[in-house]
Amino acid sequence: MNLFRLFGDMSHLASILILVHKIQTTRSCRGISFKTQALYVTVFVSRYLDLFYDWVSLYNFFMKVFFISSSCYILYLMKMKFRPTNDPSIDTFRIEYLLGPCAILALIFHYKFTVTEVLWSFSIFLESVAILPQLFMLQRTGEAETITTHYLAALGAYRAFYIPNWIYRYWTEDIVDPIAVTSGIVQTALYLDFFYVYFTKVLQGQKFELPA
Amino acid sequence: EGNPVKHDEL
């Protein structure tokens, strides 16, 4: 563990807490893409199967359990508790265009041809693009509640923090994980447009609005 | 059966 990864994980944790807080306090999941949230459940479940056979640390164990359970809880909030506030008609990104290519990529690029390793690769690839339905929705509506933008900023920062972590691990442990690194760079790059508006508008106290 | 790469990150 190093500070970069710790900051990344804390940022990831914060993003989920911000999202749950937003849904609970506004009693609404308006502006949140159900498809993106469902993709995150897929990501966590397919990646953390090693919970059942591989022990890393107590920290690692609890974080994995937290990510799986909190992402399922968010789906519950969106589909059951606050269902009327979820508007599927603006959540129109075709996720089969993400699932298919990620599955193919996972079959080509993996560290070992076993079910769990291929699923692990799949989850890494899928995570890198899972935010697209959400960003697509933001693009369509052209605006977002401030709290939603804080959620997205924390979520984007998480993988960005992992990049210096990978550089650090390369120097100190001589470890390189090419699948995670390339996907992580793609994942972070997808947020660049968002970050630009977030830093120049939201953090200056203005509303998040995309130019018409 | 060990992983070729350590999956110790989240």
A112/B4 CB distance under 8 A: yes
Give per-residue pLDDT as tens, A170-184: 999 988 999 999 999
Give per-residue pLDDT as tens, A18-56: 999 999 999 999 999 999 999 999 999 999 999 999 999
- Give me the phi and psi of A68, to 5 degrees please: -65, -50
For residue B10, what are the CA distances in angstroms to A47, A61, A123, A139?
9, 10, 11, 29
- Measure the CA–CA gap between A138 and A149, rounded to whole angstroms: 10
- Measure the CA–CA gap between A44 and A153, rounded to whole angstroms: 20
- Contact predicate A96/A85, CB 8 Å: no
Q: A60 is written with which tokens?
A: 């690692």
End-to-end CA distance of chain B: 20
ipTM attached to this prediction: 0.86
- A3: exposed, middle or buried (Cβ count in 10 Å: 0-12, 13-18, 19+): exposed
For residue A97, what are the CA distances in angstroms to A55, A123, A132, A158, A193?
34, 15, 11, 24, 21
- Contact predicate A149/A198, CB 8 Å: yes
Query: B-chain residues within 8 Å CB-CB of A120?
Result: 7
- Contact predicate A208/A202, CB 8 Å: yes
Give per-residue pLDDT as tens, A1-12: 999 999 999 999
Give per-residue pLDDT as tens, A105-155: 999 999 999 999 999 999 999 999 999 999 999 999 999 999 999 999 999
- Give me the phi and psi of A161, to 5 degrees please: -65, -25
In chain A, where are the structural domains located?
Answer: 3-209
Of A56, A111, A117, the CB nearest to B8: A56
**Chain A contact residues (CB < 8 Å to B):** 5, 9, 12, 50, 54, 56-57, 60, 63-64, 67, 111-112, 117, 120, 162, 165, 175, 177, 180
